[in-house]
């Protein structure tokens, strides 16, 4: 492992010299960090993970093995991306133009996925750009997110749909009544109103 300026990079990782890597970040075997990507302090990029050009990761972001984060995704502090999860960037994917010519970078516009603070994307889940996953939300393993996810929402399935609420600890919240939800781990209370959840 190569450790420079508080950053640990595996010898087999491919980190472009134009990428900005925060102190304490660890980049493991066969990961690729493209040009102009920005990774905050304390991130962990697993084996075979991919971070596209210009992608921004906040502090303490964890990308598990083979996670694919395509540009121009924006991930806030404390985001978790599970193994083999994908954040897409092509809203209307085609390999060729309508006349059959192979598409180039000039033939499409990349659109990004935005992930809010503390949110978690489960293993093999897919977030189809341009969606926003709210703060502290939890996308279940294998889900396909095709529309925005509210803060603290628990979404499952294909396409993903909300089936409950989660707290900062990631545990499903339990109803107390009158629109009040409680985290069984921390005791934190939340208020539900008009399909949104807020911390009390």
Peptide bond just before 131 cis, omega within 30 deg: no
User: Tokens 């806030």, residue?
Assistant: 76
Q: Is 29 a catalytic residue?
A: no
Give the active site residue among 66, 74, 135, 190: 66
Length of the chain: 200
**How far, in Å, CA of 92 to CA of 160, rounded?**
19
Q: Are 85 and 69 in contact (CB under 8 A)?
A: no
Peptide bond just before 130 cis, omega within 30 deg: yes
- Which residues form the catalytic set? 66
């Amino acid at each position: 492992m190569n450790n420079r300026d508080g950053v640990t990079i595996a010898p087999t990782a491919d980190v472009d010299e134009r990428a900005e890597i925060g102190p304490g970040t660890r980049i493991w075997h066969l990961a690729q960090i493209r040009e102009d990507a920005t990774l905050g302090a304390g991130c962990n990029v697993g084996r075979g993970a991919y971070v596209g050009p210009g992608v921004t990761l906040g502090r303490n972001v964890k990308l598990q093995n083979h996670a694919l984060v395509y540009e121009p995704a924006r991930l806030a502090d404390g985001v978790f991306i599970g193994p083999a999860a994908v954040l897409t960037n092509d809203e209307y994917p085609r390999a060729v133009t309508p006349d059959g010519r192979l598409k180039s970078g000039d033939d499409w516009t990349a659109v990004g996925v935005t992930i809010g603070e503390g949110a978690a994307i489960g293993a093999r889940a897919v977030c189809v750009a341009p969606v926003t996953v709210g703060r502290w939300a939890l996308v279940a393993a294998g889900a396909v997110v095709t529309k925005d996810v509210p803060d603290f929402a628990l979404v499952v399935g294909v396409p993903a749909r909300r089936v409950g609420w989660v707290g900062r600890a990631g545990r499903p919240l339990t109803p107390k009544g009158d629109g009040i939800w409680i985290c069984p781990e921390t005791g934190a209370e939340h208020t539900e109103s008009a399909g949104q959840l807020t911390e009390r």
